[in-house]
Structure 1
Amino acid sequence: MSRTLIITNDFPPRAGGIESFVHELARRRPQGSVLVYCSSPAAADHRAAPDFDLLQPFPIVRDAAQVLLPTPRVARRARVIAELEDCDSVLYGAAAPLGLVAAGLRPLVRRQVALTHGHETGWTVVPGASAALRRIGDNVDTVTYLGEYTRRRLARSLSPAAAARMRRLAPGVDTERFRPGCGGERVRERLGLGSRPVVVCVSRMVPRKGQDTLVRAWPRVLADVPDAVLLFVGDGPYAAKLRSAAQGLDSVRFTGPVPAAELPAHYDAGDVFAMPCRTRRGGLDVEGLGMVYLEASATGLPVVAGASGGAPDAVLEGETGHVVDGSVPGPTARALIRLLKDPDRAALMGARGREWVSDEWSWGRTLERLDGLLSGA
């Protein structure tokens, strides 16, 4: 059996979208085909899940460092692990910076694949980081991308040959977990929402996500749909400012942090999903894709997405939802009003979204693509 060494800084028990993506790829590979070499978790993460490594169906080699860098020491250790464990392919959990060790591993392995997650698009405008991406692209077999936006941006930093070898590989959506009827009624009952129209936003609370735009748009929505509720699910450094901005709006609710197992039910509690994200810091802070839109679509909700980075790649405009300018509240308010006042159309868009996600964004499709990249097929 071929064996893949995953080299990564982004791995549980640390929480995050990249960590979840890399972990799911490892967990879903055939038994005995994966070995992970990664950094040590922070003390708080280790205390939260002290037995995490022992519970995985694959071996994990933890480096003493909390951040792996492409130093000679790390490169030597990666080569030793690959040779001892008879690995014939390498998967970098994030292309930069660890993909810089690829040249040294080339004599030992047949295939090397470097994942990108969207934030690397900001590096393409920074000369040193852009040069590093070019070196990585030249030394691996494939650099992956999430969607068309990230492909175009990353290709600017890659050589023409490396850009031609790029392939799409995005996280999959578990359509058995995220589905209509997966617990939304219980959430509505617990929160006292009854049968009121609900706009739900499931996301980490940071300025880029545009939750403040939703708060600014909400009085306009209430003017047309007075019984509507805006439900924020999640937490983050922007939470206090959002709560302050929403003071006096009784129909804006905050759940705070929610366990991952309960997230599908919170999507299902909504009638419309909205996260009007926007690009910040001159393009350095940009949405790579937006898995929340795909999870919402899988749950049967129409979505309102912001026109930031790769977010439009997660929406079929006019079919599964709408893409709006998230920097101002007017477009968001108008899109929400249209969907809330036409529930039949909203339901059709939700059904189309679930169909699209099942066909194009399933984990089965993602794993097929990864198998082809690692085998060279």
Structure 2
Amino acid sequence: MTKTLVVTNDFPPRPGGIQTFVHGLVARRPPGSVVVYAPAWKGAAAFDARQPFPVVRHPGSLMLPEPGVLRRAGDVLRAEGCDSVVFGAAAPLGLLAPALRRRGAERLVGITHGHEAGWASLPVARGVLGRIGDGVDVLTYLGEYTRSRMARALSPAAAARMARLAPGVDERTFRPGAGGDAIRARHGLADRPVVVCVSRLVPRKGQDALIHAWPRVLRAVPDAALLLVGGGPYRADLERLAASLGVGRSVVLTGSVPWEELPAHYDAGDVFAMPCRTRRRGLDVEGLGIVYLEASATGLPVVAGDSGGAPDAVLPGETGTVVPGRSVARVADALTGLLTDPGRARKMGEAGRGWVEREWRWALQAARLGALLGG
């Protein structure tokens, strides 16, 4: 059985989508087949003690492709008897691939996310991404959008070796009936129609577009409520925007919530919406949008923005709809259409749940990683 060293800056207890992705894959590797090398983070000791695999922590909170990190990674590789390496985010730590191969790694896989697609647009970063692609055996991609963007920066041989590997969804955790009634009661939403958005509060995610659309939604559905779940630097701006538009009483911002409460917050909604949009000339882009799939698993129809790979997480017209994230009118129309047609919304939610069960379960993604590693 192959044993894998996972070298990653992105790992719990540090929060984030990449962290969840990498941990979800690692946690499903066979017992005794994986060891993780990751930065120190507050709460790491308690988190690591609960894992069924060893975690070696770097002294600092950031790892770069420099000699000290290479030395420590090489020491773990030899001490643990690893014959393969996975880079939790290919850029930039994938630059260590050739040196780790010389230290005994026989198979090297670089996992990519949204930021590597952004690197492909920048002259210097594009060259770095090309070097990473040449150094690993496989560079993964989330979907067609990220594959096509990155392939332009890779050599023909590296582009030909690319393979799809996306995050999974725990369909047993994210499910209809996951506790939404309690969340509704907590925020005084009772039987109101609820549009929910679960995401970090930053401009790219499009919560401001939802608030701008809300007066139009209320004209069609006067008792509707908008539930914005998550924390982030954009919160004060969003609160001021809701107040200025006169919709503050129907917009609820929960702030950050514990991970274990996320399924219940999805379940509190009737429709899920995150109208993300690309910013900074393509550098700030949605890689996939696992939140759409978690919402689908919970049985909700989804309204997704058209940024980057977000459309890969939606079957348009079947599990939800994709709208231009900058078009308030299109966002409002999509929300109103679903809120005023519960039968259609329910059918889309059921289709989304079925799609997740068929295509997006963690077991399937973990099996794909196993195949890329050769076992």
Normalized against structure 2, the TM-score is what?
0.96
Q: Does 1:258 align with 2:253?
A: no
After the TM superposition, which segments of 4 or more aligned residues of structure 1 sit over 6 Å from their partners? none
Q: Paired residue for 2:125, among 116, 124, 129?
A: 129
Partner of 2:194: 198
CA distance in 2, matches of 1:190, 1:177: 21
Q: Does 1:310 align with 2:313?
A: no
3-state SS of 1:185 partner: helix
CA distance in 2, matches of 1:89, 1:264: 34
Partner of 1:219: 215
Cα offset for 1:50? Answer: 4.3
CA contact (8 A) 2:28 2:363 kept: no
User: Please, which moves more after superposition, 251-260 or 285-294?
Assistant: 251-260
Partner of 1:28: 28
Q: Given residue 272 of structure 2, which amino acid in structure 1 is its aligned partner?
A: F
CA distance in 2, matches of 1:192, 1:37: 44
Q: Given residue 143 of structure 2, which amino acid in structure 1 is its aligned partner?
A: G
Q: Given residue 39 of structure 2, which amino acid in structure 1 is its aligned partner?
A: S
Q: Does 1:183 align with 2:190?
A: no
CA distance in 2, matches of 1:192, 1:100: 51
User: Please, which moves more after superposition, 17-26 or 279-288?
Assistant: 17-26
CA distance in 2, matches of 1:252, 1:38: 38
Pairs within 5 Å for 1:265-284:
265-284=264-283
CA distance in 2, matches of 1:39, 1:194: 43
Partner of 2:333: 334
Q: Given residue 12 of structure 1, which amino acid in structure 2 is its aligned partner?
A: P
Cα offset for 1:189? Answer: 2.0
Partner of 2:88: 93
Q: Given residue 170 of structure 2, which amino acid in structure 1 is its aligned partner?
A: D
Partner of 1:83: 78
Pairs within 5 Å for 1:51-130:
51-107=46-102, 108-130=104-126
Q: Given residue 113 of structure 1, which amino acid in structure 2 is its aligned partner?
A: V
Cα offset for 1:80? Answer: 2.4
User: Please, which moves more after superposition, 51-60 or 193-202?
Assistant: 51-60
CA distance in 2, matches of 1:153, 1:14: 28
Alignment deviations for residues 271-314 of structure 1 (CA, whole Å, 9 cap, x no partner): 10000000111111111110110000000000000000000000
CA contact (8 A) 2:5 2:77 kept: yes
3-state SS of 1:255 partner: strand
3-state SS of 1:356 partner: helix
Q: Given residue 155 of structure 2, which amino acid in structure 1 is its aligned partner?
A: S
CA distance in 2, matches of 1:215, 1:329: 9
CA distance in 2, matches of 1:208, 1:73: 35
Partner of 1:37: 37
Cα offset for 1:360? Answer: 0.7
CA distance in 1, matches of 2:230, 2:64: 31
Cα offset for 1:73? Answer: 2.7
3-state SS of 1:236 partner: coil
Cα offset for 1:190? Answer: 2.2
User: Please, which moves more after superposition, 345-354 or 244-253?
Assistant: 244-253
Q: Does 1:158 align with 2:154?
A: yes
Q: Paired residue for 1:228, among 217, 224, 227?
A: 224
Partner of 2:353: 354
Alignment deviations for residues 79-115 of structure 1 (CA, whole Å, 9 cap, x no partner): 2221221111100011011111111122412211001
3-state SS of 2:231 partner: coil
Q: Does 1:13 align with 2:13?
A: yes
Alignment deviations for residues 27-46 of structure 1 (CA, whole Å, 9 cap, x no partner): 221111111112222xxx24
CA distance in 2, matches of 1:54, 1:350: 38
Q: Given residue 13 of structure 2, which amino acid in structure 1 is its aligned partner?
A: P
CA distance in 1, matches of 2:313, 2:82: 34
Alignment deviations for residues 307-366 of structure 1 (CA, whole Å, 9 cap, x no partner): 000000000010000100111210000011111111001100000001011111110110
Partner of 1:146: 142
CA distance in 1, matches of 2:266, 2:31: 32
Q: Given residue 14 of structure 1, which amino acid in structure 2 is its aligned partner?
A: R
